[in-house]
């Protein structure tokens, strides 16, 4: 007896049903089921049922197509609104007329800045002239497959020319072949070699990080050094000095002071210094009041203010170390004004010093509370995650040396004193003291599992100034430290690591080849196609290096292409800073405090607030609180008026240069080169119009 099919029963569905989810005002497709078994039983299905099923399927297909069309229309509407917003932002920038040349606090010398900008403008106008020339030649039949040149076409006639234009273009081609292409090719090959060396260094660092993870290697303190507060005299609780240097940072002072006052350490074994270099009376008053508040709660905290800011941060720290009570302290923990250490920070760092008399520094890594604020903060998070996870950790494990990050670290005071203390000779006093301590034989420990929260710059202007200081300072230090490194009584490998890897490769060569190769040589090869730049240099190796860079921040993989383009865009600022520091050009020694937004206070100290005891206020204090709130509101209004987006002329000029070169590459049908130049030009354009960071309406 033939089996009966329940599928044919009444109420069973046929064809390809579509379940439509209605979400006013949008429709979306929720589920699309496959065909039922009776769709394939055509021979046993009545003709009427088949026709009915076909009609039903056609209706369902219509619904599917309508839903997809609606979704596509929604995407187009979103893109349209995005372009409208972008156009409005561009109009605002142009209408305001504010450029980086108007910045009163810029740390670049005006003469150097103008000369650099003029050089870029010369390249831009030359490229525009050559583009027009090449387009005219193209329409007259001069078609060359880059980078090969069919010279027999040049001498097609007995005199090598057919008219005046052909004669001019022929001379230009011969000049390119004889005089321009050889030096350009040599410079290109030189930069490629530097690029490969730097890429090899990056690969070795990544392999070292992989080995550390595979073997689960990490610094472990002595077991008897780790103790709870209840252990009393049995615990390892040396006297610790905590310093917070700050200058006009009213947005973040409360959270940093609150965090260090809640450190889980015996009150008799900790002394907190608030080193205020503020020249704003309102900020001074606010910080003084915060310190006084914690003094009333029993915190061992003092307020110090310098009237004259000699030496900037280094001078501030040097002055504080000269206090008489510092001699009673064995260690000093340093935090910038936007850092909030967790309560167990000292318990997880200080024990590493016990029974390790050669350890001079224990450094914790940073984490960022505003890393998802905008595209700029996300890209910074990728860079800094690689710096800590790979560079600092690998150098700490295998070499016991790395550059001190200037904050979130604990120093042995003896190591600071033996190394000469804080010096004001550069803008990277943290790197300076680290190099001098390393030359004295002190070892460093990096703790990748101990994090200290802070924030990264949210505006491109603040980030640009920070990067200028971070890349000019190491070149100043290299000039000053090179004789000391050569004379130091350390082994040859350590000298090689300091001179070639630490300074030359990572601080000088990297910004040099990034700017020269991708912002100058690559566009020039489009107009001098006889000089060849291989596709693997333009695309494959940079993509691989970006992939390695982004591994420590896996959630940032969607931003791998913007990261690659943005790093090349920032090479302009880094190259300019590197040259300024190396040759002492411009205001290379000027310190500009990185602006903070104070976003760290939005929930990061909730646990500390819950632990905070109630404050008992005296009768006159409500008036002080009221005045404090009024002053703070007034300052915020002033800051809001000063805040605005700028147009960055160097970046805009390079944007048009790269876009011009991309148009020229179309004539030679260079696919990868065209796309790279196009997207890199757009990246420069967005940065030049200050559309990548915080937007001020």
Give the mean pLDDT of 334-355: 95
Retrieve residue 487's tokens. 């004379």
Give the mean pLDDT of 449-455: 95
pLDDT score, position 143: 58
Is 125 buried (19+), middle (13-18) or exposed (0-12) by CB count in 10 A? middle
Tell me which residue of 693, 696, 681 sits closest to 651, measured CA to CA: 681
Q: How far is CA 451 from the centre of its chain?
A: 18
pLDDT score, position 79: 65
DSSP structure class, residue 4: P
Give the mean pLDDT of 301-321: 91
Retrieve residue 422's tokens. 């804080």
What is the phi-psi region of residue 317: left when phi exceeds 0, alpha when psi lies from -120 to 50, beta otherwise? alpha
Bridge partners of 420, per DSSP, are none
What whole-number distance in Å separates Cα of residue 329 and Cα of residue 309?
25
Give the mean pLDDT of 485-495: 94
Is the pLDDT at 22 greater than 50? The verdict is: no
Residues 555-583 have pLDDT tens digits of 999 999 999 999 999 999 999 999 989 88
Cβ 687 vs Cβ 460: under 8 Å? yes
What whole-number distance in Å separates Cα of residue 431 and Cα of residue 402?
9
Classify the C-alpha dihedral 521-382-592-99 as positive or negative: positive
Is the pLDDT at 477 greater than 80? The verdict is: yes
What whole-number distance in Å separates Cα of residue 209 and Cα of residue 217?
10
Residues 32-59 have pLDDT tens digits of 444 454 544 544 555 555 555 556 567 6
Out of 21-25, 458-462, 484-488, 534-538, least confident range: 21-25
Q: Which is more confident, 165 or 277?
A: 277
What whole-number distance in Å separates Cα of residue 512 and Cα of residue 637?
41
Out of 459-463, 491-495, 604-608, least confident range: 604-608
3-class DSSP assignment, residue 89: helix
pLDDT score, position 400: 95
* Annotated catalytic residue 277: yes
Cβ 595 vs Cβ 462: under 8 Å? yes
Residues 114-164 have pLDDT tens digits of 666 677 778 778 888 888 877 877 777 665 554 444 454 554 544 444 568
Q: pLDDT category, 318, cuts 50, 70, 90?
A: very high
Retrieve residue 474's tokens. 């190491």
Residues 580-624 have pLDDT tens digits of 898 887 655 666 677 776 665 444 444 444 444 444 333 334 455
Is the pLDDT at 335 greater than 60? The verdict is: yes
Given 38, 100, 166, 277, which residue is catalytic?
277
3-class DSSP assignment, residue 160: coil
Tell me which residue of 598, 592, 108, 600 sits closest to 313, measured CA to CA: 592
Q: Which helix (H) or strand (E) holds 549?
A: helix 541-550
Burial call 465-489: b when 16+ CB within 10 Å, e when fewer: bbbbbbbbbbbbbbeebeeebeebe
* Through-space distance between the first and last CA atoms of the chain, rounded to whole angstroms: 80
DSSP structure class, residue 5: P
pLDDT, averaged across the chain: 81
Q: What is the largest CA-CA distance in the chain?
A: 106
Residues 52-107 have pLDDT tens digits of 555 656 767 777 777 777 777 777 676 667 666 666 666 666 666 566 665 544 44
Is the pLDDT at 696 greater than 70? The verdict is: no
β-strands 240-246, 331-334 pairing: parallel
Tell me which residue of 648, 569, 468 sits closest to 103, measured CA to CA: 648
Given 38, 100, 430, 432, which residue is catalytic?
430
pLDDT score, position 695: 73
* Number of helices (H), then strands (E), in the chain: 24, 9
Is the pLDDT at 639 greater than 60? The verdict is: no
Query: What is the value of pTM for the model shown?
Result: 0.80
Neighbours of 502 (CB within 10 A): 24
What whole-number distance in Å separates Cα of residue 671 and Cα of residue 669?
6
Residues 200-213 have pLDDT tens digits of 999 999 999 999 99
Sequence-distant (≥ 6) Cβ neighbours of residue 78 within 8 angstroms: none
Neighbours of 569 (CB within 10 A): 26
Cβ 335 vs Cβ 341: under 8 Å? yes
Residues 367-413 have pLDDT tens digits of 999 999 999 999 999 999 999 999 999 999 999 999 999 999 999 99
Residues in the chain: 697
Instruction: Please report how the helices 560-582 and 375-386 are oriented relative to each other, as an axis angle in degrees rounded to 10.
Output: 70
What whole-number distance in Å separates Cα of residue 371 and Cα of residue 358?
36
Give the mean pLDDT of 304-329: 91
Give the mean pLDDT of 479-499: 94
């Amino acid at each position: 007896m033939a089996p009966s099919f329940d599928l044919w029963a009444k109420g069973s569905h046929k064809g390809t049903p579509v379940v439509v989810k209605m979400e006013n005002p949008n429709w979306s497709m929720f589920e699309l089921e496959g065909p039922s078994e009776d769709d394939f039983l055509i021979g046993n299905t009545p003709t009427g049922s088949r026709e009915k099923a076909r009609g039903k399927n056609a209706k369902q297909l219509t619904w599917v197509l309508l839903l997809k069309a609606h979704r596509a229309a929604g995407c187009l509407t979103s893109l349209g609104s995005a372009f409208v917003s972008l156009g409005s932002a561009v109009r605002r920038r142009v209408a305001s007329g504010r450029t980086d040349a108007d910045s009163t606090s810029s740390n670049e010398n005006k003469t150097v800045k103008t000369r650099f900008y003029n050089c870029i403008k010369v390249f831009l106008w030359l490229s525009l002239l050559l583009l027009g020339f090449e387009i005219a030649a193209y329409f007259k039949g001069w078609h060359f497959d880059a980078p090969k040149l069919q010279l027999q076409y040049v001498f097609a006639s007995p005199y090598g020319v057919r008219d005046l234009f052909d004669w001019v273009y022929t001379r230009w081609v011969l000049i390119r072949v004889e005089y321009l292409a050889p030096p350009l090719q040599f410079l290109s090959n030189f930069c490629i070699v530097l690029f490969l060396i730097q890429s090899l260094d990056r690969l070795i660092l990544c392999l070292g990080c992989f080995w550390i993870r595979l073997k689960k290697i990490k610094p472990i303190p002595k077991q008897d050094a780790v103790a709870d507060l209840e252990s009393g005299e049995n615990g390892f609780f040396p006297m610790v000095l905590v310093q917070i240097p700050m200058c006009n940072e009213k947005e973040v002072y409360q959270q940093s002071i609150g965090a260090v006052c809640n450190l889980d350490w015996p009150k008799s074994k900790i002394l907190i210094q608030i080193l205020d270099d503020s020249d704003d009376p309102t900020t001074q008053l606010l910080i003084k009041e915060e310190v006084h508040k914690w003094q009333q709660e029993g915190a061992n905290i003092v307020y110090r203010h310098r009237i004259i800011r000699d030496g900037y941060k280094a001078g501030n720290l040097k002055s504080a170390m000269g206090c008489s009570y510092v001699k009673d302290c064995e260690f000093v923990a340093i935090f910038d004004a936007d850092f909030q250490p967790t309560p167990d920070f000292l318990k997880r760092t200080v024990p590493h010093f016990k029974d390790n008399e050669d350890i001079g520094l224990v450094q914790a890594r940073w984490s960022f509370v505003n890393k998802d604020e905008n595209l700029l903060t996300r890209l910074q998070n990728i860079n800094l995650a690689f710096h800590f996870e790979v560079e600092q950790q690998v150098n700490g494990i295998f070499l016991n040396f790395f550059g001190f990050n200037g904050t979130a670290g604990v120093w042995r005071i003896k190591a600071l004193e033996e190394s000469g203390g804080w010096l004001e000779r550069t803008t990277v006093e943290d790197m300076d003291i680290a190099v001098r301590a390393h030359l004295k034989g002190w070892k460093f420990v990096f703790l990748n599992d101990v994090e200290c929260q802070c924030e990264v710059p949210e505006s491109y202007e603040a980030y640009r100034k920070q990067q200028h200081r971070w890349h000019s300072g190491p070149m100043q230090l290299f000039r000053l430290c090179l004789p000391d490194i050569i004379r130091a009584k350390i082994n040859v490998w350590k000298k090689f690591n300091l001179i070639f890897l630490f300074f030359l490769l990572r601080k000088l060569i990297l910004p040099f080849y990034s700017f020269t190769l991708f912002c100058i040589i690559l566009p020039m090869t489009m107009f001098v196609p006889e000089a060849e730049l291989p596709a693997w240099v333009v695309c494959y190796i940079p993509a691989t290096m970006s992939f390695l860079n982004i591994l420590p921040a896996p959630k940032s993989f969607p931003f791998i292409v913007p990261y690659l383009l943005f790093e090349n865009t920032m090479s302009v600022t880094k190259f300019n800073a590197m040259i300024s520091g190396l040759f002492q050009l411009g205001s290379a020694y000027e310190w500009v405090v990185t602006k903070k937004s104070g976003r760290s206070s939005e929930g990061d100290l909730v646990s500390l607030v819950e632990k905070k005891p109630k404050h008992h206020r005296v009768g006159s204090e409500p008036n002080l609180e009221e005045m404090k709130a009024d002053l703070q509101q007034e300052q915020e209004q002033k800051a809001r008026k000063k805040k605005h987006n700028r147009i960055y002329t160097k970046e805009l000029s390079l944007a048009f240069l790269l876009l011009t070169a991309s148009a020229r590459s179309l004539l030679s049908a260079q696919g990868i080169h065209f796309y790279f130049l196009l997207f890199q030009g757009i990246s420069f354009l967005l940065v030049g119009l200050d559309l990548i960071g915080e937007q001020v309406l």
